[in-house]
Amino acid sequence: MSRCKWCGTIHSNTLTIHALVRFELQPDTLCFQCREKLESLNDQLTCRGCSRIQDKTDYCPDCLSWQKTYQGHTHIHEAMYAYNEFASQIIEQFKFTGDCAIAELFVKEVKEYFRKIGQTALIIPIPVSRESYSTRGFNQTELLLAVSGVTYNSVLVNRYQCGRQSGKNRKQRLESPQPFEIDPCHGELIRGKPVVLVDDIYTTGRTIYHALDLILPMEPSSIRSFSLFR
Amino acid sequence: MDLTNLIGRELLLSDLLTEYTESDLSGCTFRPAFHSAKRRAQCNRCGSFSKLTEIYPCICGNNCIYCRYCIQLGKVRACDKLVTYEAADLFSKKPVPYLKWQGSLSEQQEKASKEIVLSIKEFTDRVVWAVTGAGKTEMLFKGISEALEAGKRVCVASPRIDVCLELAPRIQAAFPDIQTALLYGGEESVYIYTQLVIATTHQLLRFKEAFDVLIIDEIDAFPYYQNEGLYYASEKAVKKQSSTIYLTATPDTKLQRKIVKGQIEASILPARYHGYPLPVPKIIREKDIFSMSDISASKACRQILMLISRRQKFLLFIPTIRLMDSILPALRRFFSTTRFESVHAQDPFRKEKVESMRKGELQFLITTTILERGVTFKNIDVIVLAADHDVYTESALVQIAGRAGRSADYPEGKVTFYLEEWTRSSKGAVQQIRQMNRQAAKKGLLL
Ligand SMILES: [Zn+2]
Ligand SMILES: [Zn+2]
Ligand SMILES: [Zn+2]
Ligand SMILES: [Zn+2]
């Protein structure tokens, strides 16, 4: 028996087939009802470039247009769950209400992803503005990684005092200028290394491609990205 | 700086500093936001415990414990302080009666009303156990009125927002000369210091030693483990010498035991205002309909068809949204010529659908437990599918059954529970309803 970290219900949601196969008898962080509301992208047809839900696995029009801009780099972004109504409630509670423990909901998924990525990769979280950082006291992406025991490097820093992507419409997001710069102390780490960029949500891809603009010239051996939601 | 608005409040220092300066608050009392208890950290605002290891990066630059349980009221961090302003209330005695309500009370209401007045006068606690449809609000008026006239500060609270929103206009209409604050999570209006407060029990956490009288309606609205927080909140919000009145249609076992043992005084109202007994659920044993490949042969479907043919309106309760979704297509196919709708908590058209049911435009309404209380329809029957499902607590089933037979025009509304196995909740619910009917009969309150 354990308590659902989202709704507080006492539950015994342990024995999924997956858990049995892997001898994981840790109780789930979510109760059955809440777990069901998360829409996994793994078992659906999604764009191979950005995990968007569609009826085939080919690159979606957005990815094709990014590819045109970034000749020579075909970017692969992987996301775990659809950014549905439930996901937006979770993110709201996590980032804006400041409920840090939400990070613990996804430890299993994050661990699993980075176990496959391997030890050598340089893991770079997307930074938040200084204003968001000081009112919240944390960067949600760093916290997600930290509670999952994933070592990361804060290579990117946010140049801006304030401003955030949520609340902007698609056009405003796509037109937003480069918000990041590379922390000179860490810049040299990138060369020749496989890099994984991490964010909480992937919406238009603008944020990730801004980060790419800075990191690609530093010649990593490969680069991909990961987010919890898409 | 005027600190009147802080009388009886307990707020976070970090929040107050957006409105007041440190020196404004120099006359206040401060305490840490957490204290350690039983090798855990207890939040001083809501009383919940956090593990000492649950620390996270904090605005102070360190890692701090914070409280997840009351976070919707603003984040309580271990490095923050709770602030109270200990000053006496500013309300004086008034010889004129505040109550402008003109209605009359039934015999059993009159008796309960007098008992409430007495409890308030003597600063004792009381449970008012009144069956669904007994008319609870009216019998509070006298007690509230006398408390206000004595210069006491009064709060009427409920765990449910919709109950607060429904109570507020009725109470305001009864006491038109008293300024009332209505506090609930939704649209946060500016707080002002008033003698009469209507609030969700969650909002009580922002008070400390504030009220002489606290009336809590529908204390049974949440399962027990959430009620622990409710008791903490209510104990914190009242003054050392005060009276708390608990209103419920279905007290939990803990409270029932207290009543039986005489640990708390109780007023029991076993009869509805119209004097007809509560409908006792009829139990039909059937394998749960959601696992049937063909529902048309089920007893439940046959009953629904029969009700439709007699044009009897009814509510159909289904345990979860998921089960509702799973059965809707079959019902739509099967009852294609009948007008009905389905509602659940997140339904954006919930209000409209309930309204159209109330107007009689729908033959029936399929619902999850959200309509278990509060909402009343005239002349309806009630059917509960899978009444042995975990979501149904004893009190939820009593409340659901209480939807039927509310009006004097159709007091014999029928309630049917479909279940495969008896559960503690379903058994308890039927027993509770029978017991109230017996009591009402014994007291001669039934027609
Ligand atoms: Zn849950
Ligand atoms: Zn794509
Ligand atoms: Zn708390
Ligand atoms: Zn702190």
Chain A interface, best mutation among B68, B70, B393, by max A CB count within 10 A: B68
Class (C level, CATH) for A38-229: alpha beta
B44 C-alpha to center of ligand 3: Å? 7
Q: What CATH code is assigned to B282-442?
A: 3.40.50.300
Of B248, B212, B242, whose CA–CA distance to B227 is shortest? B248
Would the pLDDT of B103 be above 60?
A: yes
Band (B225; pLDDT cuts 50, 70, 90): low
pLDDT, tens digit, for every residue of A25-72? Answer: 567 889 888 888 999 999 899 999 999 999 999 999 999 999 999 888
A121 C-alpha to center of ligand 4: Å? 32
Task: Give the chain B residue nearest A140 (alpha carbons).
Answer: B57
B321 C-alpha to center of ligand 1: Å? 14
Would the pLDDT of B232 be above 60?
A: yes
Chain B interface, best mutation among A38, A93, A100, A133, by max B CB count within 10 A: A100
A98 C-alpha to center of ligand 1: Å? 19
The residues spanned by each domain of chain B are 4-84, 107-269, 282-442
Regarding pTM above 0.95, the answer is no
Band (B91; pLDDT cuts 50, 70, 90): very high
CA–CA distance, B440 with A133 (Å, rounded to integer): 62
CA–CA distance, B7 with B193 (Å, rounded to integer): 8
CA–CA distance, B373 with B353 (Å, rounded to integer): 16
**Is residue B328 exposed (0-12), middle (13-18) or buried (19+ Cβ within 10 Å)?**
middle
The residues spanned by each domain of chain A are 1-37, 38-229
pLDDT, tens digit, for every residue of A180-222? Answer: 999 888 878 899 999 999 999 999 999 999 999 999 999 999 9
Contact B56 A138 (CB under 8 A): yes
Q: What CATH code is assigned to B107-269?
A: 3.40.50.300
Identify the residue whose tokens are 């109570």. Answer: B167
Partnered with residue B385 across adjacent β-strands are none
Q: Write out chain A residues lying below 8 Å of B63, CB-based.
A: none
> How many angstroms separate the first and last alpha carbons of chain B?
61
Q: Are B98 and B148 in contact (CB under 8 A)?
A: yes
Helix or strand or coil: residue B217?
Answer: coil
pLDDT at A168: 75
pLDDT at A15: 47
Tell me whether domains B107-269 and B282-442 share a fold.
yes
Band (A165; pLDDT cuts 50, 70, 90): low
* Number of Cβ within a 10 Å radius of residue A7: 12
CA–CA distance, B193 with B394 (Å, rounded to integer): 39
pLDDT, tens digit, for every residue of B302-315? Answer: 999 999 999 999 99
pLDDT at B273: 84
> Which ligand is the nearest neighbour of the Cα of B205?
3
Share of chain A above pLDDT 70, in %: 90
Strands (E), B110-185: 126-130, 154-158, 180-183
CA–CA distance, B213 with B147 (Å, rounded to integer): 7
For residue B57, give the nearest of A8, A36, A138 by CB distance. Answer: A138
